[in-house]
Amino acid sequence: MPIPPIKKNDEVYILRGKDRGKTGRVLIVNPAGARVVVEGIQMIKRHTRPNPQKNIKGGIVEKEASIHISNVAIVCKNCKKHTRIANKILADGRGVRACKKCGNTIE
């Protein structure tokens, strides 16, 4: 089974779009659609109808939209740069994600 390139709570750098150059934390990963939702990135306005049963107020609500996984790059915690991901096999046989720039594991 392949190692997923981007997981929930990873710090990512936006490569394309109106928010290019910003960083954020991954909130949701949709592997089937190859999309991620990043905190504070790709903000859209949604018009909602009030629903007293669910305690929802009506009006215009801002929320994050998904962005394609190819438009984000993971940020390495060691070298503090955005990078591609390498798959490394450790001595005990586990597969882990590694930084292509510095070679350290990302976990």
Residue 105 CA: distances (Å) to CA of 3, 25, 26, 27, 100: 13, 18, 18, 21, 10
State the fold for domain 11-81: SH3 type barrels. (2.30.30)
pLDDT band (50, 70, 90) for residue 3: low
Query: Which pLDDT tens digit goes with each residue over 63-83?
Result: 999 999 999 999 998 889 999
Query: Which pLDDT tens digit goes with each residue over 32-73?
Result: 888 999 999 999 999 999 999 999 888 999 999 999 999 999
The pLDDT score that the predictor gives to residue 104 is: 87
Provide the greatest CA pair distance for the chain. 56
The pLDDT score that the predictor gives to residue 1 is: 46
Taking the domains of the chain in order of start, what are their residue ranges?
11-81
